[in-house]
Structure 1
């Protein structure tokens, strides 16, 4: 294959840098020489690429398109190792428009071999290579189709698409599009693409090498880096990838810290090293994260026994450090509840904390607005008093507007009896604790009435109120069920065959572990229970942890394959509770 002076010089520089890098790794004690194979990935210079191009009779094999030519070039370290080219007899007529485009005519392919004999030869040529194509889904799609048609197993090739890479590397200032001809001109390829398979494959080789040259200057040296490269990840981010080199391949929590040791961001992963490396070399394109990585000086890892433990630790650490680049879970203490007070004439009140006062609570709510919507749904259903006065009053007050609208039983003017009001409070308590049916029925009737009058905006307001109430009631009932349990131990077989064990007390994760393969399972679980954190019960319906933590624990407990090894207390949820209604929203 021929080459211009520019392309030859580029390849010469690539080889020179590769030699220098190997010498540096052998003679220096720096981090480059000490990084493990799994951290570096597979260097591009050590891989063999098979760059392939097809000519066909149509756009899709599913619509009858057939291959008329295959061309391929095998390269390694910038050097051409071999070429493959053959016409293919499609056993169908080549459309005139295709013949004009490619120059391949029916007479040219009449004596050519069929795809049944060409495909095995190509697969043998490409064995052990990384396949490369310009618009790879087209070419690889045809090859896979005919392999399946021949009942021939498709090798597990890795595939690179030069179109996708070019979109990340070549700006619109350099070329108006990413067609092969345009890119060949950008990189000075001596081969002009002309819709002949081998010529196009040769041009694609020059485009691939040109892009590798650019990316090498940006620190993209492995196929893993190349496959995940994004131009939105800055050079400064890539230079910090060594921060991940000492992290373990294990589940846990990672903390990005600045030069003063302040926590910038906290995350969790099943594989700490792999996840953290993506912030420097892969697909992390969020502008906030780029800014955060620019400030980061260290990454601390906290290895955890299980993914659930990692998720719980993440929530607790975010609440403790309140990192500026985490947007969620930073203020678990900022919660709202709807409270049914304990007093001679109870009322519903919006409060920010649960007291040990034997009152009934609905929540927690993440925002005051949603709490107010749920409160209003209850007020729309039950004529319970809404004033904040301490009753009874002497002398009695005049009835308020709500009483005149029959939306309050008006105990302030003594127009109701204690028995009647107590019955109303009992119905409200039932709606908070067990059954939402009365609220749903009242709001649904109101919705039907408003819809009949075509007052749709007002109907939407009432619908949102009912939704907020139902979700809060379902959440309260689920949290209350597990918060009552002084000890719950559950196990599940993980993907690697080992058993994960979690001890939960009053809704808080108290211990986590994985049973060693040769250990006595019963003894291990007993020891984990003895060493688990002591957790005291919290007042009211709230668990002894944040609602987010308990819900995370609940999702694991409700996942397939979980077995309960030990339970102290009754883990129940109302059969007619709000969960069945909320699930339909």
Structure 2
């Protein structure tokens, strides 16, 4: 594959180098250098959207463990405070009668908190109320970063420390100097002590910056965090990263639009997959391949996974394991399940990702077309005894002369047309069968036929889409990316042969000509199989079919049948989505 940002020695065009500037995410903002505004609210209810109002705002501004200032005000809710709220907080209607309304209190608080990181215990509640009233006043909400002490505590505090993560429980754990009592300022002061206590706990496991605090997970061990330096050499660019162990074996391959940020997340972010934690513990180096475009990165990822078969990648490791349905070329053709495509002029349907899906599709075809299912090669004039399938009317029985060559050939032509162009015969036959079964309340059998039909429709649509692109010697397409530059891809027989981004102030036609000249030479593959893995070609197809892609040039004919299987996909996708939703709902219902 050729690309614009090719390594030294490549003949591909190279864009001017981009200047790199460290972001806050890379540098990290030390917690000791940040100013935090710890806020707490008292309200008349649990939801501002349902009419609850703020009755008190309390806040404490701290930096480096030192209190810089405090803010406290009662707020007139302009409505009666429910008696149980008054009992809980001690705030009565009389107390707030002469207090400012939220229209005055909110601007004062926002001025106090300007430039700070907001902190609250159960932050979605407090910040949600503040944002609600800011929107109600048509006041722009400052771009506060928010720290939720309750969320962090749930990742740090164990049952041995406290029975729960309520503010009162945490205040006892960390020996807060103020006892929370459902008054805003007192609760804010207690939250300050809890915040500092959490900082102490987290500092011992290497959390020193706001970025690490916000992404902290107890499942990311100190040993993982100490390996952050493995990402320091990576660029802010799309590409592929490879984790290697001390024996140079590839452990894991991944891709990202931003290599450095993504790889750093394995050491500092909430990476909760246990196998990824195990992988990081074994890693001693991270290599990378910088790519011109995200699509090139996705394709390179697939190729590297197929090449190295990393133990911690679960998908795409064995693209060679495929299954096809073959309509044989012989005197009495049949449908056969095969593992690869040969240059034998036969017709193929697939590839299927699993043998089970291929067998389900084959059942749908056999139910529709009574072609023979025996595996022996029959002579042009066979003289054998018919099998039980013939007696059941599921085979025309060429073996005993029950059907002549012309009639059987006509049936085979219908099968070939179904595989390559029109799925109507299978769709109508299976739908009719499903209707009969449903009418007899044989719903389980109807479901089996539905699954067979879905397997067939998806396989036929996939075959038609892959075959159409694979047949094209070359497709060149471009799309304007978010940064305003044009990404260009050269696709040959379904394989990504070249990728690049047109540099600013560069002649676009000249750049595309250079990219095409430097692109990989690709020979066509037999049958419907692209010159790449089917997964690679499908990623290319999704990009080509995405909005705003412009075809620069097409060599050959890139087209799918008008009445092809793709027109039936929407129905089966909707059914599959509904089944998954029902399964999730059922799992949630029975969960303890």
Q: Distance in 2 between matches of 1:59 and 1:337?
A: 58
Deviation at 1:102, TM superposition (A): 1.5
* Match among 536, 542, 567 for residue 529 of structure 2: 542
* Match among 91, 94, 111 for residue 78 of structure 2: 91
Deviation at 1:57, TM superposition (A): 2.2
Residue aligning to 1:208: 195
Q: Cα RMSD (Å) of the superposition?
A: 1.5
Alignment of 1:338-377 (within 5 A): 338-377=325-364
* Match among 353, 368, 380 for residue 367 of structure 2: 380
Alignment of 1:11-50 (within 5 A): 38-50=25-37
Deviation at 1:319, TM superposition (A): 0.3
Alignment of 1:28-427 (within 5 A): 38-392=25-379, 396-427=383-414
* Match among 422, 436, 446 for residue 449 of structure 1: 436
- 233-242 or 452-461, which deviates more: 452-461
SS in 2 for 1:239: helix
Q: How many residues in Structure 1 have an aligned counterpart in Structure 2?
A: 552
In the TM superposition, what whole-angstrom CA distance separates every residue of 1:217-242 from its partner, at most 9, and x where no partner exists? 11111111111111111121111111
SS in 1 for 2:140: coil
Deviation at 1:395, TM superposition (A): 6.5
SS in 1 for 2:571: coil
Higher relative contact order (CA 8 A, sep 6+): 2
Deviation at 1:463, TM superposition (A): 1.7
Q: Which runs of 4+ in 1 moved over 3 A?
A: 34-38
Matched, 1:555 2:542: yes
**8 Å contact kept, 2:382–2:398:** no
- 51-60 or 482-491, which deviates more: 51-60
Deviation at 1:381, TM superposition (A): 0.8
In the TM superposition, what whole-angstrom CA distance separates every residue of 1:327-366 from its partner, at most 9, and x where no partner exists? 1101100101111111111111111111111110000011
In the TM superposition, what whole-angstrom CA distance separates every residue of 1:466-512 from its partner, at most 9, and x where no partner exists? 11111111100000000010010000000000000000000000000
**8 Å contact kept, 2:332–2:380:** no
- 108-117 or 480-489, which deviates more: 108-117
Matched, 1:501 2:488: yes
Residue aligning to 2:582: none
Q: Distance in 2 between matches of 1:394 and 1:537?
A: 37
Q: Which runs of 5+ in 1 are unaligned?
A: 1-33
Deviation at 1:59, TM superposition (A): 2.1
**8 Å contact kept, 2:238–2:290:** yes
Deviation at 1:389, TM superposition (A): 2.1
Instruction: Return closer, same or farther for 1:175/1:382 CA change in 2, 3 Å cut-off.
Output: same
Alignment of 1:434-445 (within 5 A): 434-445=421-432
**8 Å contact kept, 1:35–1:245:** no
**8 Å contact kept, 2:331–2:380:** no
Deviation at 1:191, TM superposition (A): 0.4
Q: Distance in 2 between matches of 1:136 and 1:332?
A: 46
Instruction: Return closer, same or farther for 1:36/1:245 CA change in 2, 3 Å cut-off.
Output: farther
TM-score normalized by structure 2? 0.91
Matched, 1:512 2:499: yes
Instruction: Return closer, same or farther for 1:583/1:515 CA change in 2, 3 Å cut-off.
Output: same
Deviation at 1:106, TM superposition (A): 2.4
Q: Distance in 1 between matches of 2:538 and 2:30?
A: 43
Matched, 1:492 2:472: no
Instruction: Return closer, same or farther for 1:397/1:247 CA change in 2, 3 Å cut-off.
Output: same
SS in 2 for 1:583: helix
SS in 1 for 2:343: coil
Q: Distance in 2 between matches of 1:37 and 1:132?
A: 20
Q: Distance in 1 between matches of 2:562 and 2:23?
A: 55
Q: Distance in 1 between matches of 2:198 and 2:434?
A: 61
SS in 2 for 1:255: strand
Q: Which runs of 5+ in 2 are unaligned?
A: 1-20, 573-592
Deviation at 1:64, TM superposition (A): 2.8
SS in 2 for 1:548: helix
- 193-202 or 383-392, which deviates more: 383-392
Residue aligning to 1:19: none
Q: Which has the larger radius of gyration?
A: 1
